[in-house]
Amino acid sequence: MNVATARTTAPRWNAEVAAGDSARYARCIEVSRRVRWDIDADVIRGRDFDHDRTFLPAGLSLVDRIDFLDGNERRFFSQVQGRTYAWMFGLCERFIGAKMLQTSGQHWLGDQSALEALVRFSDEEIKHQELFRRLEVLLEARMPPGHAKMAEANTVAMFVMARSNWAVLALIFMIELFVQRHYEESIAPSQELCPLWKDVFLFHFREECQHSVVDELELRAEDARIDEGERDVAIDDLIALLGAMDDILRAQADADAAYFVVACGRPFGMRQQLHVVDVLRRAYRWQYIGSGVRHPRFVRVLDELATPQQRRRLDVALESIVPDV
């Protein structure tokens, strides 16, 4: 192949990264090296979950909205949600890792700090998936049988990856931001949580903080590559992705409600059962969608990138997906 042919057939490398952005990628690399942890040596450390302690704090589980549960049932309600919480992150990280590996191609022959930041990001997401698989083994051994997962990671990942780059990067940015919000606002301040469970999300949080910086850089870079019409399509794709996530959450909330009621081992009236379902649906919508799309940083970035008409379209769609919890 001659040079002239190569120029016309090679991918469009994102060779030009602004000096300020390159410095931000480099800082992400520095933080990645400094906070890097090992699953066994730093997180699990030979421990098991303490089932006499709470997993997910009330600010996320919304357990305080159910007034007919005793102390043991309130704790178990938090543990059911905590198990789903860990599983959901493993599910999301399947497509996050794949998308970041794909996105790294923009930098293969370009800014090497950007490339290393994305490769490290992908490596950390793969490690997180392994961590959550390990946790599921521990949870399966001690929790009552019958907990169902209502989505399959590869199926979800293929659905997500088929959407436009802008939409997928926006979704990932949202997820990384709510990880931080949950830890800072609810998990870190809680004193009653299981020590292993709390440590899992402390170490998870430490690596996710720089991920959101990379997410924003890549989303802005993708936005600069597309025109308004392509962003119109991307907004529709983001709405579709959030709608699909809501479908998964509704199904998981219903399954978790059924599991909780059976495992409690006492009769619940029909109104009580419906109330458990309603609280779980509201909790999951807040945890995985509302706390992300309403994060101030996410709102600010979308306001800067999208036109007012595009933002209104997204806001109208969100009114049905994440009404006030």
Angle between helix axes 165-182 and 195-225 (nearest 10 degrees) is: 150
User: Nearest Cα to 289, choosing from 249, 261, 229?
Assistant: 249
Task: Give the three-class secondary structure for 8.
Answer: helix
pLDDT at position 11 over 50? no
What pLDDT, on a 0 to 100 scale, did the predictor assign at position 111?
Answer: 95
Would you place residue 18 in the very low, low, confident or very high pLDDT band (cuts 50, 70, 90)?
A: confident
State pLDDT tens for residues 101-133.
Answer: 999 999 999 999 999 999 999 999 999 999 999
Supply the DSSP string of 16-30, one letter for each residue: ---HHHHHHHHHHHH
Residue 15 has pLDDT above 60, yes or no: no
Nearest residue to 216 (alpha-carbon basis) of 98, 101, 103: 103
Q: Which residue has better confidence, 140 or 323?
A: 140
Which amino acid, one-letter code, is at 149? Answer: K
pLDDT digits (tens, 9 = 90+) for 273-289: 999 999 999 999 999 99
Across the chain, mean pLDDT equals 94
With a cut of 50, say whether residue 7 has pLDDT above it: no
Backbone angles phi and psi of 193, in degrees to 5: -75, 155
How many angstroms separate the CA atoms of 99 and 169, rounded? 8
Residue 192: DSSP 8-state: S
pLDDT for residue 19: 84
Is the pLDDT at 8 greater than 50, yes or no?
no
Give burial (CB, 10 Å; 0-12/13-18/19+) of 121.
buried
- Mean pLDDT across the stretch 185-199? 97
Distance CA 221, CA 201 (A): 29
DSSP tally for the chain: helices H, then strands E = 13, 0
**Better-predicted residue by pLDDT, 27 or 8:** 27
Q: What is the mean pLDDT of residues 156-166?
A: 98
142 pLDDT band, cuts 50/70/90, is: very high
pLDDT at residue 14, as a whole number? 54
Give me the pLDDT at residue 187, please: 98
Task: Report, as an integer, the average pLDDT of 74-84.
Answer: 98
Q: How far is CA 198 from CA 138, 186, 187, 191, 194, in A?
A: 15, 11, 7, 9, 6
pLDDT of residue 1: 35
Cα-to-chain-centroid distance, residue 18: 28
**Phi/psi at 41 (5° precision):** -70, -35
Tell me the CA distances in angstroms from 84 to 95, 194, 251, 277, 288, one per residue in order. Answer: 18, 16, 12, 15, 11
Alpha-carbon Rg of the chain, whole angstroms?
21
pLDDT above 70 as % of the chain: 94
3-state secondary structure 75-102: HHHHHHHHHHHHHHHHHHHHHHHHHHHH
* Other CB atoms within 10 Å distance of the CB of residue 102: 14
Phi-psi region of 295 (alpha: psi -120 to 50; beta: other; left: phi over 0): beta
Query: Residue 176, SS3?
Result: helix
Tokens for 254, please give them.
Answer: 């219903």
The confidence score (pLDDT) of residue 320 equals 87
User: Which residue's entry shows tokens 């402390």?
Assistant: 202
| DSSP structure string for 232-276 | HHHHHHHHHHHHHHHHHHHHHHHHHHHHHHHHHTS---HHHHHHH
- The token pair that represents 12 in the structure block: 């469009």
Question: Is the confidence at residue 183, as pLDDT, over 50?
Answer: yes
pLDDT of amino acid 325: 54
**CA end-to-end span of the chain:** 60
**pLDDT band at residue 4 using 50, 70 and 90 as cut-offs:** very low
